[in-house]
Every structure is written in C-alpha cells, then in structure tokens.
Amino acid sequence: MKKLLSMLLSAALLVSLLAGCSGSTDEEETEKEVDKGAEINMYVGERPHDLDPGKLVFDSDAFQYMNLIYEGLFRLDSNGKPVGAVASEWQSETDERDGKLKLYITLRSTKWSDGIPVDSDDFIFAWKRILQPSANNPAAALLYPIENAAKVKSGEVTVADLGVTAVTDKILEITFEEGYTDVNYFIETLASPVLVPLREDKVKTDEWAQASTTICTNGPFAVKTFGVDSMILERSTQYN
C-alpha cells in the first residue's frame, strides 16, 4: 500500500509555481472585471480525457492538471511532508465511549469556482464515490484505514456504514479500523489528488468532467475552456 501511495503522491510534489499567484482583496473582487494575471502559453502535459479526479490512476500528466484546479485537505511541501490545505486544524483522539481512534479535521473557509462554500459533505461524497464496488480505481485502498472502507469496496456493507461523518459543515470525523494507529501516514495519503472534494450536484453523469460548463473546481485555477487539443485555465477569483 505504501508503494501505491508513493506513486499516487509523486505528482503532488510537482505543484506548479503558477499556484503561487496572489489572491485578490475584497475590493478587487467587487470590480466588474477582475485582473486574473498574465496570459501564459505553456505545456503542462498531454491533455487528459477528462478532469475527474475519481478516475485518476497513474497518469502523471493528469496529476499535474489536477494539482492546479483542485485542492484536498492536505498538500505536500517541498520536503514531501503533508501540510494543511483545505484543512486548517486536525487532531486525533481515542473515543472513550467506544474505544475507537478518531481523527477530527476542521476545514478552512474556501469556495468552489462558482462561489459555493466547500464543506465536509463534499469530501465524504468524493470518498464514497471511489469506494463504490463499481468504481475502478485502485486508489480506493488509500482509504482502507477508515472503518468499513474495505468492506464497502467489496460490497459487504453499504457506503452508509463508512466511518466518516460530517460533524458540521466544517468538521470531519474519521473513525479508523480497530487496531489502526498510524494517523500521520493516513494524513499523508490525504494529500493524494484522487481524494479531493467533489460536488454531488455537479457529478450527475460520466461526462461531467469533460466540459468547462460543468466542471466545478476548488483549486487556484478554474477551467475556462476544455478543447480537443488544449485547455485554458484562469485564476479562480474564489480561491482564498
């Protein structure tokens, strides 16, 4: 499993310097036309078939695009160590009521490219989606430390039994399988571009991530056009 993690996270170390574009002030955001910076023509990688992070496996080109348009709970710093991205605070503790180890993650205030706030349910939806028995993504194994995750994938139980709960819109509660203790390793897995949030109201068909009109992202860049041979990304004015 650690080999799988290494392959899935390797591209996360290559986050483009473009993501360092500065955010706008409130006054700037209220202007009719927001200055989104210089136009730069560049080659990032082969154009992916679509921009659905739930379909990512080992396509290094697609990983680079995903790192620009989506943001997960954690990201990897220059030393390959996880630091908070959407996550602002986190702590683990053993619940005295049931003796289970739990991880609580608080989300910072951030928005989708259409201005709707990112919330806990967006992560839960995305994770349950790749754990569906019908989903063909080996990265689902990254979530197996979560209570019942492996059983959900095998069809033994339903996604309703997955040990992830939205305590509030901004607090996630993750319950681990009995005997699991390596919380730091699990946090590292959450930096994978496969485990970013998704909006349930947007993911209605298999083609949702193949057109700029239906793609909704929460990273530093939004998808302006998604053509046959190229795409145009623009700075997301909603990115904090």
Determine the Cα–Cα distance for residues 60 and 44; give it in Å rounded to an integer: 10
Query: Average pLDDT for residues 38-52, to the nearest whole number?
Result: 80
The residue ranking higher by pLDDT, 170 or 211, is 170
Determine the Cα–Cα distance for residues 81 and 87; give it in Å rounded to an integer: 14
Determine the Cα–Cα distance for residues 192 and 161; give it in Å rounded to an integer: 23
Q: State the amino acid at position 66 in one-letter form.
A: M
pTM: 0.83
Q: What is the pLDDT of residues 61-117, one digit of tens each?
A: 788 889 899 999 999 999 989 999 999 999 999 998 889 999 999 999 999 999 999
Determine the Cα–Cα distance for residues 14 and 32; give it in Å rounded to an integer: 34
Distances (CA, A) of 141 to 1, 3, 108, 136, 238: 7, 11, 26, 11, 32
Query: Average pLDDT for residues 112-137, to the nearest whole number?
Result: 96
Write down the pLDDT at residue 18. 41
In the chain, count H helices and then E strands: 6, 8
**pLDDT classification of 38: cutoffs 50, 70, 90:** confident
Q: What is the pLDDT of residues 171-194, one digit of tens each?
A: 999 999 999 999 999 999 999 999
- Mean residue pLDDT across the chain: 86
Task: For residue 49, give the DSSP letter.
Answer: S
Query: Average pLDDT for residues 150-161, to the nearest whole number?
Result: 97
Q: In what order do the strands lie in the sheet with 164-168?
A: 87-94, 101-107, 171-175, 164-168
Residue 21 has pLDDT above 80, yes or no: no
Determine the Cα–Cα distance for residues 146 and 159; give it in Å rounded to an integer: 12
Residue 11 has pLDDT above 50, yes or no: no
Share of the chain above pLDDT 90, in %: 64
